[in-house]
Structures are given as C-alpha cells and as structure tokens.
Structure 1
C-alpha cells in the first residue's frame, strides 16, 4: 500500500512518525560530517528540500533529541554504527530567515531581532543557577525585538558561548534561507542599508566564534563575498555546479521511478520527465524538483506546482524592466532556443540592474534555467554556459507571468489583440494607445526613465505578450533578417485561413519627420523597400494574405496604419 503523501510537511519527525512518503536523504549527515568544513553554504532552488534537510540534521544531532534513534531506524544513516553514537550529542542552534520579507530595513532588522529573542527565550533555562554571572544575566534580559544592532550582531555568538559552557561541547549552527531578507532588500530598495548589519551578524556568528563546532547555511543564491562574507575565510560554498552533495537535494531519476511505481503511475514516467526533469547539480543530471513530484503523486494532474509557489517576483521584475536584449533572449528561450553566456555564481545584487550576466546567473541558481553545455575558458578565468529553460513547467510559468504583465496593467491589451486579429485598424489605434498609456512606464525601471528607451522596452515586452497570447495561431518572431534588413515583428500563421502580419515600429524623430503620420508612413515604406515579406512569400504565403502595419511612437502616443 502506498504511503500517505503529506503535502507541505517540513518537520522530519512528523513525516517519520506519520509514515508519510519520504525519500531517504539521511546520508547527507555522513557526507557533511566527514567533510569537516567549518561553515558550509549550500545553495539550491526553492522547494528542493533544504528546510527538511536542516530539520533532519537538527533532529539527528541536537541534545534535545537524545535517545530518539526511532526517528532514524530503517534509514541509511542508522546502518552506520559510528553515527548511531553521534545522535543527540550536540547543542544545536537552528534559525530560519524564510519569513523575513519586510518592505523596509528597520522592519527587517526587527524581525531578525524577534527570531533571536525567540532563541533566547527557548534557552531561558540557562538563567537558572550560577552558570551565568549577574552581568551576563542582565545582558541576556536585554535581548529583545528593539535591541541595538550591535547587541543583535553578537546574539548568536553569545548564545553559542552559553550553550558551550552548559553542555561542555561546541555548538552546531543551522541557518536556513539566509538570503531571503537580502533578496527582499534588493526588491524594496534597501540593500545597502541591510548589508552592514548582515555582515556583522555573520562575522560574529560564523568566523570569530570559538564556540562553533560546525555550521550549515542554506539559500537560493551565493551572495557575493564582498557584500556580506568578506570576513569569512572559513566558508565552503556549495553551488549547483559543485559535486559535493549533488544527490542530497531533489529527487534522482531512480527515486522518481520508484515513487511512480509505488503510486501506480509508472506509465506516466515520460510525461513526468518532460514536465519536471531538467535540473543538474554537479555531475548529477536528471534531478527533479521534489515539490512538483510530491504534488503530482498526490493529485495525479500535471500542473505548475513548483513555479506557482511564489518567489517569482524578483525574476519577473528583472525581465520586465530589463533591456531590449534581455527580452529578445527571453523570446528565444520561450521558443526552445538557448542562451550562451558567462556565469558568475557570486550574485551581486546591486549589479542586477546593470549586468545582464548577473540576471542569467540568478536565474540559473534559482532553477529557471539549466545548463545544456559548459565551456571552460581558463585564460579569462570565466566559465561559459549554454542555458535553456529548465522544463515545461518553467516555460508555462514564464508564459503565465508575461500574460499577467498586461492583465495587471490594462484591460485594453486583450481588446487590442482581438482587433489585430480582425484587422480593425480604428480599434487597434484606440486600444493600443490605451495599452501604451497604461504600460510603457511599467516596462521601465523608473530609475533612469528615457523618452527614447521607454518605447523600445515596451515594444519588446509587447512582443513577448504576442508570443504567449498567439502561440496557438501564430509563430511570432522579432528582429530577424529577411530580404535586405531586419524586421521588427512577423506573425506567421499556423492555420491556412489566417493572414500573416508584419509589424514595423518607429519612434518619431522631429528632425526627420514633421508629424506622427510621416513616421508611420516611413515605417510602411521600410517594410516594402527592405522586402520584409520575402521569407513569408518563400514559404508559400500569397502577397494578398500578408498584412503590413506601421506603428509610430511619440512619447506614449501611438499611430497605427496599414500598408
């Protein structure tokens, strides 16, 4: 009989006692312990079992769970006699930054202080007797939500000392989702404010802490050393390209095959592979996202389970507000193409606005892109990758995200699409002006708005919308060679009864064109002179079945005419 699934359970003890579905990852304990690294930073995409693994490590080592070998009986780690003796023998400090998602720096630091206060309250037994001096007890009582930053920065360090004195053993520190507040700080514009506090906290906790036995930090990204880890020279960083722990997070192909057999779904293996396979950690290919697999086993319906569990906001913002080139790359990726780029696994958040490679690196670390090919360049010290969208689930997620860009900003977008398909030029003009008015600034960062740049960013965001919304009826391409030049947008019909379309966009230049009407005529002339219809005709589409539209921009005003 198949085990109950238990959706959303991240408490190792609950899963084991309830005999819920669980893929044995306990050998992570042995691998980590035997590596003997002081501080290990493990980066994996969200929903890859990081929190459950940290909870498992806590339950294994913590003195609070001494004698709880029943939780590990029958699992791989319990077959190792040496590790049976280690169970429940260390003081453990376990913290999670997963819920520090505040919109300003002060609130973020206060939320961190609240977690530290909870830690001190949990260990209030230390105040009994004479383990602590009167002065230390006084300092202990000052740990609060509103404590000064300098006190908060030393809080974990001091707790490590107190626990060491009580148990006579150095502590194990577990910090889950360490980068969540940093990502929120970037999104809400207080990155520089938070960095100093975080650097001081991490330095006191993980470097200048003589009471530390070993530590594990988990997160999605490897934040640049210069930002918050500049003082940590004892940090072992394990990213998705590292071979360490490569099969400890996510499900392998064999683990997925076994699960599908257990639930009578073995005949669905190829569909499951298309939807959810594609992640690679180190040399381990064919890694699956656990959240999607568990939900599929439970519901038996293919859906975007992982992609719909929030946290897509940062990536969506970066693409929506990104450069023309970034949107063009997304066009290719959505149509099955690849991106060749250098990847720096140290994410520099304050460079995400200016370096496209930093965005692609973030998307790789977050699981939205996967490595298809690796090219090492030893001379330059950089590593090149061919990247593609990870799987069908991710592609659908991006399609839904792009649809939301327009549905959130303006209801006129869908009306424009309907008018475009009908060839209703009057309605196209009316709706397109409404769309542009509502959304042009939506596609710009607002930091360096530009009359010239805004229409171009809007146009490429608009093209992504066409690719998604017309996918069932048209193949949409942009900025490709045809005839004697590069057209802006071509819509090639998938059905014989539909017309092909060529869309040419031009920004009004008052030095060359007197009116917006002159600009749109120039766009239509360009379509003819550069023979942009050549490829469509070569594919057998009759000239009378090719519609040609000129789009002229002047600020947020648009004029459309048909050629």
Structure 2
C-alpha cells in the first residue's frame, strides 16, 4: 500500500493504486479556468494533483505509459489528445509550516526558486530575450525579494508560454497550509497579503494561463485571497462534482479488501474509517484504510497522528458553555443542526464561535448527515462525528485540553462501580480545580460537564442525552454495548439557593427516575442491572445518591 507516496509515477508502478484518473475526464468536460478542491488532510489531494501534472505536462519522456492501463485512456481521443501537451507549473505548500513570517517567506522563495530550476530549458531558450532570461535567473537563484516572488507565477507562466508557444497549467497544492500556520503563529496579515498578490498575478486575467488547479482544506474567500477571480470554480465537500475522487468509495474499499483477502474486515473498517459524505458520495478516509491494511488490519486512530489537531484545541479554549455541550453531544453520537459557511476563515474561530462547526466539517472532524440548502449559497446541515477514529480524536483532545484525562478516568471508575461517595468526592475535587464560580449558573452547565466526563466510557456504552423514555426525558443514559455490564441513568438537579438541602434535592432527582419510568428503554433492551444516580449541584458542591 502506498503509505506517504504522493508521486503518481511511483504510486502507479510500485504500489497498489486506486484509479482516480477520471477526475481528468470530468475536468475536461467543463474546463473551468481555475478549479479549487477543498478536502481534509490526507485525502489524496497531493497525489491527485501530481497525477494531473503528469497527464498534462509536456516533457521529453513519453508519460502516456502511466495512463494507458487507466480508466482515462478508455474515454477516447477527445481526452487523450491533451496528454503531454502543456507546460506545467507545480508547487506544493504542504510542508510550509514555519513559526515566523521571515522563515515562511524564505521557504516560499526556495520553493519558487526550485520550480524555476525545474524548468531549466528556459535558460537556453531562443524564444526568450536577455531581460526575460535575467528575470529567470533572479528567481531561480533564490535571491529574489518579496515583490519578485509575489510575481513568480506570472513571470514563470509568461516565460513558459513564450518558450513552448502554449499557455501553461498552474497547480498549487495545499495552498492554505501557510495561511493556517500564519493564523496559529501570528503572522496572518503578512501571509494573506503575499498569497493575495501571488495568486492574482498567476490566476487572475493571466493571458499565459491555460488552466489552474488549487487544493486546500479551506476556501479563504473572505480575505480576498481570490479577489475578483470570477474564473474560480470551487469544489467543496458539499458539492457533487469530483465527489468520488478524494478518498475511497465503498466499492474501492471492497476491491482492496478482496485483493488482500480481508473481505471479513469490511464491517470493522466501516465503523472505524467510513462515514464521510462528499456531495452525495459515501467516502472512507484513504490514509487510515491503507494503514489499517498494512498494520495487519488492527484498527487504530491513524489519521490523528498525521497533523496538528490545533483547530479542536483552539475551539475548546474559546468555546461557550453551549458550544462545549454541543461538542460533548457529538462525542456521545448525537447530531447537531448548524449553519455551515463554506468560505469560513481562520480568525473567525475567535470572533464568532458559531463558525466552529464549519471548520470542523471542512477539516474532516465532522460528517454531513443531512443538507438543507440556503438562499445565500451556504447550508444548514445536520452534522455528526463520522466514525470511531474521529471519536478518538475528540476524546483525546477534549480531555487533554481541559486537563480532565486522569480525573475523568477516576470518575468513570466510580460511576462504573456505582460508588456514590467516591463519585461525589471526585466531582467536588474536579469542580474546585477546574470550574469558575460563575460557571455553575444553571443545570445545563453541569449536564454538559457530565457528558464530557462520561465520554471516556464511549467504547463500552452508547451515551444518550435528553432522550424520551417512559414518561419523560432522562438527562443521561449509558446503554451498554456489551451484555453483562450494568446500564446507568443520571438525573441532575441544580440550585443557587444556599438554603436548599442538597441531600433532599438529590433524593428528588433519584425519585424522578422512578416516577417518570426513565428505565423503560433500558429494560426493554434487556439491560440488567440498571444503576440510577441522582446528583444535586450548587456552585462547586455536589451530592450524589445511588439506587
């Protein structure tokens, strides 16, 4: 399996390759001037862009050999006549992850220089004049200033057009990686200004451009990165176009498992790595699938270690109690209905906390369960966590970022053993150390807190919140996924009144479970025994009763 292989020639000649060449057919059917593909990390963007480069690029090598056994070659001469006919500029910014603007610019300048050097045929070109060759040498020598580099695409496309007599194709892979880094490392204005001028020169009203391709996680439209580019066609995870070309479809996964004689692992691979929906296409995480096969089909959270999960960390650090409760509901397997802005930008995490679900969706931390299109071009969506792998990411990040990990384990041991006194002591110690005296204003705060603390039990229980059972709605239910272990029902009460007896309030919570018959659903499912827990909260104090 091609783990970490993003070179198309190598992937197709030395490894198991899932044929995605019909992406080229779909592009040639419409030929937009500039195409932007937004997908989560490790979903095959770089490999697909290198495939596009190898297909279109005019070189001394006969590169048709890499396509004659692929699906694109069966589509006929209307498509194959484009093979090997264009000069191509190819830049990937996937590794531009520097801590300062100065280091970032140096790396961008080096990448631009290397792409000029890759086109060394320009050095001896008889079609170029002296001044044009000076331009080439300045940018190839890695001594260009910032203004020169901002014009890099424009200059190189002009030189290639003159040399070959053919407009060129520009491919920019992971264009927004340095922009995300600028947001995290406080040089966002500098990188946005550079990219705006860089793309404008190469992709907007450029007479030397045949077609342009960009990939990234986000469409950074609101910062005018693509200002005035009415030739840009964006293909997001919510669009049907190209939906099957990034990631693996169910049919492709079944073919892989058949090839490696692991057909019996399909259900396991579905529960761990399926669940994404791009347009109307069901998609598996390709990075995790190939690692799962390579690792003797032992399921792990492979995608988690491929990059930073700082987006989740930043969201948790700035989230409102309502957002925190929403994240905990997601972790418990529930859906959230939210507005999705496909052109969301990084700083909006801090300025507008309700954009977080848009970030999480486009970055691969959520899936779309249902779409409700809006008149402004965006969407209302039901979103949920896609699979077990991403649930592991949430669990780790939420617990680690809130310093709840060891405490959560102890609290869950107390819950599982039904030790009310131990649970009460641990809860009070946790609240003393981690919550503000202003936090416990209402019952919903404690409800969200308890959902988060129960999250670590997610591999043994289906965690449900505020659902109908019997004669009302329970607060939290833990429905065991394995027979023979107890089920749990929680009811919470809250007061700000110092004169209210918390012991009596906890007894009322416990009595409500019986009166409202909240245990109906668990009993109907054959769960025995059922442990009922009533908890009364006031500030940083709690009383726990068990039955």
Q: What is the TM-score with the length of structure 1 in the denominator?
A: 0.81
- Shift of residue 13 of structure 1? 0.7
Structure 2 partner of 1:202: 199
Determine if contact 2:57/2:87 at 8 Å carries over to the other structure: yes
What is the distance in 2 between the residues matched to 1:482 and 1:59? 59
Which deviates further from its counterpart, 300-309 or 245-254? 300-309
One of 207, 211, 214 as aligned partner of 2:211: 214
Residues 1:333 and 1:409: Cα distance change in structure 2 (over 3 Å): closer
- Shift of residue 101 of structure 1? 1.5
One of 111, 115, 131 as aligned partner of 1:115: 111
- Shift of residue 415 of structure 1? 4.7
One of 357, 360, 385 as aligned partner of 2:381: 385
> Does 2:56 match 1:69?
no
> Does 2:386 match 1:399?
no
Residues 1:352 and 1:271: Cα distance change in structure 2 (over 3 Å): same
Secondary structure of the residue aligned to 1:352 is: helix
One of 253, 256, 263 as aligned partner of 2:250: 253
Structure 2 partner of 1:149: 146
- Shift of residue 403 of structure 1? 3.8
> Does 2:50 match 1:31?
no
Secondary structure of the residue aligned to 1:209 is: coil
Residues 1:522 and 1:110: Cα distance change in structure 2 (over 3 Å): farther
Structure 2 partner of 1:349: 346
Secondary structure of the residue aligned to 1:400 is: helix
- Shift of residue 47 of structure 1? 1.9
- Shift of residue 153 of structure 1? 0.8
Residues 1:202 and 1:522: Cα distance change in structure 2 (over 3 Å): farther
- Shift of residue 429 of structure 1? 5.2
- Shift of residue 91 of structure 1? 0.8
- Shift of residue 248 of structure 1? 2.1
What is the distance in 2 between the residues matched to 1:460 and 1:154? 55
Structure 2 partner of 1:158: 155
- Shift of residue 41 of structure 1? 0.4
One of 32, 40, 47 as aligned partner of 2:35: 40
One of 88, 92, 112 as aligned partner of 1:92: 88
Residues 1:360 and 1:162: Cα distance change in structure 2 (over 3 Å): same
What is the distance in 2 between the residues matched to 1:11 and 1:248? 16
Structure 2 partner of 1:297: 293
One of 238, 243, 248 as aligned partner of 2:240: 243
Task: Give the superposed CA RMSD.
Answer: 3.8
What is the distance in 2 between the residues matched to 1:22 and 1:389? 28
- Shift of residue 352 of structure 1? 2.1
Residues 1:247 and 1:475: Cα distance change in structure 2 (over 3 Å): closer
Structure 2 partner of 1:232: 229
- Shift of residue 482 of structure 1? 11
- Shift of residue 413 of structure 1? 5.2
Secondary structure of the residue aligned to 1:175 is: strand
Secondary structure of the residue aligned to 1:174 is: strand
Determine if contact 1:483/1:532 at 8 Å carries over to the other structure: no
For residues 466-512 of structure 1, what are the alpha-carbon distances to aligned partners after superposition, in whole Å with 9 as ceiling and x for unaligned?
Answer: 2222346777666889999999x7576867879866566778xxxxx
> Does 2:469 match 1:466?
no
What is the distance in 2 between the residues matched to 1:108 and 1:477? 46
For residues 396-437 of structure 1, what are the alpha-carbon distances to aligned partners after superposition, in whole Å with 9 as ceiling and x for unaligned?
Answer: 33223334335x677555455556767585896589647854
Structure 2 partner of 1:445: none
Structure 1 partner of 2:523: none
What is the distance in 1 between the residues matched to 2:67 and 2:468? 62
Which deviates further from its counterpart, 472-481 or 53-62? 472-481
What is the distance in 2 between the residues matched to 1:202 and 1:102? 20
Superposition pairs of residues 154-553 of structure 1, within 5 angstroms: 154-283=151-280, 285-298=281-294, 299-378=296-375, 382-405=378-401, 414-415=409-410, 418=413, 423=419, 433=429, 437=433, 452=438, 462-471=449-458, 518=498, 527=506, 531=509, 533-535=511-513, 538-539=517-518, 548-550=534-536, 553=539
Structure 1 partner of 2:13: 17
Determine if contact 2:463/2:476 at 8 Å carries over to the other structure: yes
- Shift of residue 21 of structure 1? 0.8
Q: What is the TM-score with the length of structure 2 in the denominator?
A: 0.83
Residues 1:78 and 1:156: Cα distance change in structure 2 (over 3 Å): same
What is the distance in 2 between the residues matched to 1:322 and 1:290? 31
Structure 2 partner of 1:8: 4
- Shift of residue 72 of structure 1? 1.5
- Shift of residue 364 of structure 1? 1.9
Structure 2 partner of 1:51: 46
What is the distance in 2 between the residues matched to 1:434 and 1:14? 53
The number of aligned residues is: 528
Secondary structure of the residue aligned to 1:23 is: coil
- Shift of residue 243 of structure 1? 2.2
For residues 179-232 of structure 1, what are the alpha-carbon distances to aligned partners after superposition, in whole Å with 9 as ceiling and x for unaligned?
Answer: 111222223333333222211111111104221111100112222244412231
Residues 1:391 and 1:475: Cα distance change in structure 2 (over 3 Å): closer
Q: Which runs of 5+ in 2 are unaligned?
A: 521-529
What is the distance in 1 between the residues matched to 2:532 and 2:219? 50
What is the distance in 2 between the residues matched to 1:208 and 1:89? 22
What is the distance in 2 between the residues matched to 1:98 and 1:492? 42
- Shift of residue 459 of structure 1? 6.0
Determine if contact 2:333/2:463 at 8 Å carries over to the other structure: no
Residues 1:336 and 1:486: Cα distance change in structure 2 (over 3 Å): closer
Secondary structure of the residue aligned to 1:64 is: coil
- Shift of residue 50 of structure 1? 1.1
What is the distance in 2 between the residues matched to 1:455 and 1:107? 47
What is the distance in 2 between the residues matched to 1:500 and 1:252? 39
Which deviates further from its counterpart, 137-146 or 58-67? 137-146
